[in-house]
Amino acid sequence: MLDRKAYAKIHILLKEKQIDDEVYRDLLKRNFGVTSSKDLNYMQFIKLLSILKGDFNINLITQKQKHYLLNLLEKMNINNKEKYISGIIGKQIGSIEELTKQEAAIVISALLKYTKRH
């Protein structure tokens, strides 16, 4: 759960950017699958701030890729998902949400090849 300062940052940016509540809720739903910032984890909060500041990288993993990737990893019984993915892409990640669309595609492709062989 985020602290009061985090929520204040969100609402200050919303006011500065003149984003109304309906647009804000739609943004939360499309990007994070939630309707309230109270349901965001810390990484999602950081991503939301980036979106609101306008420096968001639109090349980050999509929700569809993320769910597909998590399902593949679940089927393979992978416990430390981030470490496993880091090994595939050759770079350390703290969260799956840090992957780009291209990196996600590479990981998904590698996992599909692995599952077909086993």
- What is the average pLDDT across 81-92? 88
Question: What does the DSSP 8-state code read for residue 76?
Answer: T
Domain boundaries, the chain: 4-53, 63-117
Model confidence at 56: pLDDT above 80: no
The pLDDT score that the predictor gives to residue 73 is 94
pLDDT at 1 over 80: no
Task: Read off the pLDDT of each residue in 63-88 and give the average, rounded to a whole number.
Answer: 92
Q: Is the pLDDT of residue 60 over 90?
A: no
Q: How confident is the model at residue 57 (pLDDT cuts 50, 70, 90)?
A: low
Could you tell me which residues are beta bridge partners of residue 60?
100
Residue 54's SS3 state is: coil
For 38-44, what is the mean pLDDT? 88
Mean pLDDT of the chain: 88
CA angle 61, 30, 45 (to 5 degrees): 70
Count helices and strands (H / E) in the chain: 6, 0
pLDDT at 58 exceeding the cut of 70: no
pLDDT at residue 55 in the model: 64
d(CA 72, CA 42): 24
Q: Return the higher-pLDDT residue of 67 and 52.
A: 67
Q: How far is CA 74 from CA 21, 68, 69, 71, 81, in A?
A: 36, 10, 9, 5, 9
